[in-house]
Chains A and B, each alone.
Chain A
Amino acid sequence: MASTDAISGLRFDLNQGSVRDLNQRLHQPGGGGPVLIANPGGRHAIAVGLDAPWKVEIDGHVGYYCAGMNQQASVRVRGNCGVGVAENMMSGVVNVDGSASQAAGATARGGMLVINGDASARCGISLKGADIVVRGSVGHMSAFMAQRGALVVCGDAGEALGDSLYEARLYVRGSVGSLGADCVEKDVRAEHLEQLRGLLAAAGVDDADPLEFRRFGSARQLYNFHVDNLGAY
């Protein structure tokens, strides 16, 4: 099911071969270079656990956990994603042309996730250092318990944004349904504008002015359990 072209690199047709065969090939030592995956058909766990400078293009929709735990690789999905795209990513770039389901970029520790459509609930949940840029809107409970990294939302954010937030930075251009516990709006200073400019540029977003964004972060009132905060628990 795999074929190699000297110019365009590896090509996998998932109507002809299995996800197992694909991932096994991409896990071989010394990997890297262009890979085209045809007919993904919403299959789960496509291109997971990569640890080489592959440049993967997936021509269609994918199921759960596409590019999960990615290291080094660049993965582009020319379609929509199921739950948990780029979950626990360590490095590299994952770019989704369409929209993403729940828990996009969950617990991701490094690298960048770009979603050109919308992201559903819990985008960036427990984020641990990666950067996520969403050109559309995100659903409720996004950045729940997010620890490090940044979530940039060019559209709107749903309810309970940043609930129980730690040190992650959240930027939203549109409306916010509501803020979660311990999440507050903060001033946008020069350092934040500079970070935003960098993130938008890295994500290829050239139609959003950093000055249009608001910043949200942790009030740090719930960092240590205290009975006086009982109403917040």
Chain B
Amino acid sequence: MAAENGAAPGAGWHPGLQESATFDRGSIAEIQRAAREGIYDIRGFGAKRKVPHFDDLLFLGASVSRYPLEGYRERCGTEVVIGTRYAREPVKLDIPITIAGMSFGALSGQAKEALGRGATELGTSTTTGDGGMTPEEREHSRTLVYQLLPSRYGMNPDDLRRADAIEIVVGQGAKPGGGGMLLGQKISERVAAMRDLPPGIDQRSACRHPDWTGPDDLEIKVEELREITDWRIPIYVKVGAARPYYDVALAVKAGADAIVLDGMQGGTAATQNVFIEHVGIPILAAIPQAVQSLVDLGLHRQVQLIVSGGIRTGADVAKALALGADAVSIGVAALIALGDNAPEHDAAYREIGSAAGYYDDWQAGLDPAGISTQDPDLAARLDPVEAGHRLANYLRVLTLETQTLARACGKSHVHNLEPEDLVALTVEAAAMAKVPLAGTSWIPGLS
């Protein structure tokens, strides 16, 4: 049994050794760490446990009953418009893949600039984060979404008016119901000044907004933001996936132009491991509930749905869209494209107790790739132009893959993908995604 959990048997191993499925080596190591340190584990990245995901779905593709589109000849549209409900100037994107909110503070200035460069090259948006908008970020992002978070760090009306959209953050998938903490080691003079706090101290981000509580207040908050921006730009509401049917309905009732729904696999800069792994639901389970909420309100495709949490490939994008999303958002994958966890930094990762492919201590500020740090020497390792180009390449691949799958299903626009194009490989995925188990017409709970 000892070899089953992935680690190669070491010296002294013999086939009679039996590892506990309950108290496996990871569990034992965590108990030992907790006993030694007396404090819970805080880390970055997203959920690492295996949960039902887009891998558990397959596209059926076209055949006799449906005809496909020619891969290298026939157009498959990818553009998306967000904020058509109320905004005078909706956000128009060339591809349905956006960059999720990540703060200057959690990320280096170079990383934020690279995100802006890459996204702009492909005609899509980036999003600020907890800590405000930097001039560099605005300059390098053609379309920039400005987050209004509970902490309101750096919030000011000039930036609000400079933004292309506003995203009211109620929660995020890595920690629905949780606030945050940017540890003191990442609080440089500049980060501190932007947040109106002294350098070097932990900066707590509240879990609730300071001036509204509940959906009725949220409606008035949305009204205020619209008044400040003269009803010009869209207002998104971001929620962590927990009770998406009701959260979406309430956000729509509050006047949202768009909903951002972040599944439990969504990333974070710094959260307790127990929170990341045990709160919230997978994005696969959340999308159908959110879509059903919009359908029941008669507003599907009128209030746009942007989903995130574990998007890696064009297949993930296509499946999210087929389930009814209008666009997706990427965070962890975007950082990996910039250079996070790159093999060339392996030796440096090992020096700080990690390895390329495993690094998740984004809270520590020691990132050898220069991404999740405020150390000027480390940050200088990341060339924003080169990293931005890598992100642009990655976004191109995601888009091409999404189009490939859409054409195979006979769709002339990626938004024409639909649940009918999908089947599930597992009973769990069939029940969550509400598509039939492959080879059957059975949707658990529905048929």
Interface residues of A (CB under 8 A from B): 19-20, 23-24, 27, 44-45, 48-49, 51, 63-65, 68-69, 71, 83-84, 87-88, 90, 102-103, 106-107, 109, 122, 125-126, 128-129, 144-145, 147-148, 164, 166-167, 223-225, 227
Contacts and interface: CB of A to CB of B under 8 A. Distances in A.
A69 B225 CA distance: 10
Contacts of B231: 20
B128 interface: no
B228 A83 contact: no
Interface residues of B, number: 35
A126 B184 contact: no
B160 interface: yes
Contact of B206 (A45, A87, A126): A126
Given A65-B224, A68-B228, A107 B211 contact: yes
A44 B228 contact: no
Contact of B157 (A65, A90, A129, A147): A90
A144 B160 CA distance: 25
Contacts of A129: 196
B181 A23 contact: no
B230 A27 contact: yes
Nearest to B228: A49
B211 A45 contact: no
A36 B196 CA distance: 34
Interface string B77-121: 000000000000000000000000000000000000000000000
B151 A126 contact: yes
Given A88-B155, A164-B204, A224-B202, A48 B210 contact: no
A44 B220 contact: yes
B159 to A, nearest CB: 11
Interface string B161-205: 100000000000000000001011000000000011110011010
13 contacts: A20-B227, A24-B230, A45-B224, A51-B157, A64-B220, A65-B211, A65-B220, A83-B220, A107-B210, A144-B210, A147-B197, A223-B184, A223-B201
Contacts of A126: 151-152, 206, 210
B152 A225 contact: no
B136 interface: no
B38 interface: yes
* 8 A-B pairs with the lowest CB-CB distances in the bound complex, closest first: A49-B228, A84-B211, A223-B201, A69-B157, A103-B211, A107-B152, A128-B196, A106-B211
Given A65-B211, A106-B152, 8 more contacts: A44-B224, A51-B158, A63-B220, A87-B211, A107-B155, A148-B196, A167-B198, A225-B202
Contacts of B39: 227
A63 B197 CA distance: 31
A88 B227 contact: no
A51 B162 CA distance: 14
Given A44-B220, A71-B157, A109-B156, A23 B227 contact: yes
Q: Which of A44, A88, A147: most chain B Cβ within 10 A?
A: A88
Interface string B16-38: 00000000000000000000011
A122 to B, nearest CB: 7
Nearest to A124: B210
A153 B10 CA distance: 68
A64 B202 contact: no
A68 B156 CA distance: 11
Contact of A44 (B156, B158, B198, B223): B223
A80 B223 CA distance: 20
A126 B212 CA distance: 13
Contacts of A102: 211
Contact of A122 (B37, B195, B210): B210
A20 to B, nearest CB: 7
Nearest to B39: A227
B301 interface: no
Nearest to A47: B227
A227 B262 CA distance: 30
B220 A224 contact: no
A156 B152 CA distance: 28
A84 B39 CA distance: 37
A125 B210 contact: yes
A49 B227 contact: yes
Contacts of A223: 184, 201-202
Contacts of A125: 210-211
Given A45-B220, A51-B157, A88-B156, A69 B228 contact: yes
